Chain A
Amino acid sequence: MSLIRSIFIHPVVKSMGSWSVAMLMLLGLWQAIVSVFHVPAFVIPSPVATISALFQNEVMIRGLLWQTFKETLAGYLVGAAVGVLLAVVMSQLPGLGRLLYPALVTSQAIPIVGIAAPLVIIFGFGMTPKLIIVAWIVFFPVVVNMMDGLAHIDRDQINLARLLGATRLRTFLYIRLPACLGPLFSGLKIGASYAVTGAVIGEWTASSKMGLGTYLLAANAQMNSVGVYGAMLLMTLIGIGSFAMLLLLEYIAMPWRHRATSPWRRAPHL
């Protein structure tokens, strides 16, 4: 009994609950607007119509969803890894960091569509340019947030490490890295919510395969508004899903924020 209770009051479950309620409220609002104002279905289809069309279109939609999800995930992983790596290198080599920082900012000042065209010229149609576009969007919030975290580590904690005779690598693993996990996850979460947009822009400019983005364009051209809204719904699903995944990872990575004792480190028995 208390186990069941503890599952239901578990923070992750609780936040899943509030998320579901929020989603249902949004869908409800959508339905209400369509019904109250008698919006014609070819302008805005009702959520019921959109979702039931999705289920009828199951095979194709699943294929599209899978394609766009793959692009988003692959690009996201590359972008996140590049972001983390850059942050570590730039904070360990401050000279290089000062040189690279303006370049990073510049990379984000270029409109993403402007980057897409040359990427297609260089790599041709296919996965590579799409992956680069997603990674291009994702790495920036990751590197900026993580560098910020690394720059604001308590001096005294670093002094403590020096007093204990620490090596540089171990100081990084035991102090710098855990100390910047909070900002790092902020960057990862922002990146996750941008990643789908990157994948869709990638599909619009560089796709050889049909994904949600390309489907959206096609449906739009055919005045298939149920298809447009269905694709939009699925993109949103990817975005929210990855954000929720990161919330869970963050929760697991920093148990000291919500637990009294460590879930995996145990003192030995005497």
Chain B
Amino acid sequence: MRLQQKDLMMPNTPEALFSQAHTGANGNTPGRAVKLSIDGVSHAFDDNLVLDNVSLDIAPGEFVCVLGASGCGKSTLFNAVSGLLPITKGSIRLDGEDIVGKPGNVGYMLQKDLLLPWLTALDNIVLGASLTRGATQDDRLRATALATHYGLGAHLNNYPTTLSGGMRQRIALMRTITAGRDLMLLDEPFGALDSQTRLSMQQWLLQVWAETGRTIMFVTHDVDEAIFLADRIVVLLPRPGRIGRILNVDLKRPRDVSCMTSSTFISLKAEALDLLYR
């Protein structure tokens, strides 16, 4: 599905540029499977227009990065998609169903990890089940297996305050994964980490994504991170937040550090930086 959609997308053609700047048509070929459809979304806080006519379709299993300067409305867009924020205008559909103002349909890892200090790492991971129907022994077993598989097995009885920043992020991500939604929104999950931890977390996330087949939207203001992770990069421009361009990342997977010095990577980076700092 990812490959197919990539083949069809020609983001740098005039048509694509044109279509992204307008409502409705958003550079997606009709008939292609769509997981999430964001259509003409605008939002204002009082009279401060933060999102202006944002439209975007995302395919099942796709990894889309949203790249933009601080304050350009990335978190606001995610809040809207998650259902936490009822938007002023536009529609958001998940598998064709309207999800505006209805939290609980998509997984969302907020900018803060929001681990509950009174629960152990494992109980934080299974929080989704605990809060809805009660976590069963089976939930706990499966979460333990998952966490062990991703290198967290030794710390499952720990309270979050005793864990490192990287571990906390991974627990928060596990909680989002375990909640079992097809679409996951990750808002700068690695923003607070040092660059080495960050790189290993990025590789870890790609592994999780490849193995679980989820659809991911990922906010970052780090250009390298966006290119390393994404199938497509949505560049948001500020005041008001709007889509500047959608970049296709044609780097083969699985990706490792070496791809960061490839010519494709460098030229994408130049293009993104040019958009951001023009």
Contact bitstring B144-187, A, C-beta under 8 A = 1, else 0: 11001000000011110110000000000000000100000000
In the bound complex, do residue B179 and residue A164 qualify as a contact, i.e. CB atoms below 8 Å apart?
A: yes
Q: Which of chain B's residues has its CB closest to A165's CB?
A: B104
In the bound complex, do residue B84 and residue A162 qualify as a contact, i.e. CB atoms below 8 Å apart?
A: yes
Interface size on A, residues (CB 8 A): 31
B167 nearest CB across to chain A (Å): 13
Contact bitstring A140-167, B, C-beta under 8 A = 1, else 0: 0000000000000010110111111111
Residue in contact with A171 in the complex, picked from B131, B141, B158, CB distance below 8 Å: B131
In the bound complex, do residue B159 and residue A261 qualify as a contact, i.e. CB atoms below 8 Å apart?
A: yes
Q: Which of chain B's residues has its CB closest to A161's CB?
A: B131
In the bound complex, do residue A165 and residue B114 qualify as a contact, i.e. CB atoms below 8 Å apart?
A: no
A38 within 8 A of B: no
Chain A residues closer than 8 Å to B134, beta-carbon distance: 170
In the bound complex, do residue B127 and residue A267 qualify as a contact, i.e. CB atoms below 8 Å apart?
A: no
A268 within 8 A of B: yes
In the bound complex, do residue B141 and residue A260 qualify as a contact, i.e. CB atoms below 8 Å apart?
A: no
B118 within 8 A of A: yes
Given contacts A266-B157, A270-B144, contact A170 B118 (CB under 8 A): no
Q: Which of chain A's residues has its CB closest to B107's CB?
A: A163
A171 nearest CB across to chain B (Å): 6
B86 within 8 A of A: no
In the bound complex, do residue B127 and residue A164 qualify as a contact, i.e. CB atoms below 8 Å apart?
A: yes
Chain B residues closer than 8 Å to A266, beta-carbon distance: 157
A152 nearest CB across to chain B (Å): 15
Chain B residues closer than 8 Å to A174, beta-carbon distance: 116, 119, 127, 130-131
In the bound complex, do residue A267 and residue B131 qualify as a contact, i.e. CB atoms below 8 Å apart?
A: no
B-side interface size class = 35 or more
In the bound complex, do residue B116 and residue A175 qualify as a contact, i.e. CB atoms below 8 Å apart?
A: yes
A5 within 8 A of B: no
Contact bitstring B106-141, A, C-beta under 8 A = 1, else 0: 011010101011111011000110111010010011
A259 nearest CB across to chain B (Å): 7
Chain A residues closer than 8 Å to B118, beta-carbon distance: 178-179, 181, 254, 256
In the bound complex, do residue B141 and residue A270 qualify as a contact, i.e. CB atoms below 8 Å apart?
A: yes
In the bound complex, do residue B157 and residue A267 qualify as a contact, i.e. CB atoms below 8 Å apart?
A: yes
Residue in contact with B132 in the complex, picked from A170, A256, A260, A270, CB distance below 8 Å: A170
Chain A residues closer than 8 Å to B122, beta-carbon distance: 265, 267
A199 to B274, CA, bound (A): 76
In the bound complex, do residue A167 and residue B144 qualify as a contact, i.e. CB atoms below 8 Å apart?
A: no
B115 nearest CB across to chain A (Å): 10
A268 to B142, CA, bound (A): 10
A2 within 8 A of B: no
B82 within 8 A of A: yes
Residue with the highest number of chain B CB atoms closer than 10 Å, among A159, A163, A164, A270: A163
In the bound complex, do residue B116 and residue A157 qualify as a contact, i.e. CB atoms below 8 Å apart?
A: yes
In the bound complex, do residue A178 and residue B116 qualify as a contact, i.e. CB atoms below 8 Å apart?
A: yes
Chain B residues closer than 8 Å to A156, beta-carbon distance: 110, 112, 114
Chain A residues closer than 8 Å to B179, beta-carbon distance: 164
Contacts of A39-69 to chain B: CB distance below 8 A: none
Q: Which of chain B's residues has its CB closest to A260's CB?
A: B162
Chain A residues closer than 8 Å to B83, beta-carbon distance: 163
Given contacts A259-B159, A267-B144, contact A170 B130 (CB under 8 A): yes
Residue in contact with B128 in the complex, picked from A154, A165, A181, CB distance below 8 Å: A165
A157 nearest CB across to chain B (Å): 6
Chain B residues closer than 8 Å to A268, beta-carbon distance: 137, 140-141, 144
Chain B residues closer than 8 Å to A267, beta-carbon distance: 120, 122, 140, 144, 156-157
A189 to B57, CA, bound (A): 56
Residue in contact with A262 in the complex, picked from B110, B131, B157, B161, CB distance below 8 Å: B157
Chain B residues closer than 8 Å to A179, beta-carbon distance: 118
B144 nearest CB across to chain A (Å): 5
A156 to B107, CA, bound (A): 15
Given contacts A260-B162, A268-B144, contact A165 B132 (CB under 8 A): yes
Residue with the highest number of chain A CB atoms closer than 10 Å, among B84, B123, B131, B162: B131
Chosen A-B contacts, 7 in total, with CB atoms closer than 8 Å, are A165-B131, A174-B116, A174-B130, A178-B116, A262-B120, A265-B122, A268-B137
For the complex with contacts A256-B159, A268-B141, 19 further pairs of A-B residues with Cβ separation under 8 Å are A154-B114, A159-B110, A163-B84, A164-B127, A165-B128, A166-B131, A174-B130, A178-B118, A256-B117, A256-B118, A260-B158, A261-B157, A261-B162, A265-B157, A267-B120, A267-B156, A268-B137, A268-B140, A270-B145
Leading 5 A-B pairs by shortest Cβ distance: A166-B131, A165-B104, A267-B156, A178-B118, A261-B157
Q: Which residues of B contact A (CB under 8 A)?
A: 82-84, 103-104, 107-108, 110, 112, 114, 116-120, 122-123, 127-128, 130-132, 134, 137, 140-141, 144-145, 148, 156-159, 161-162, 179
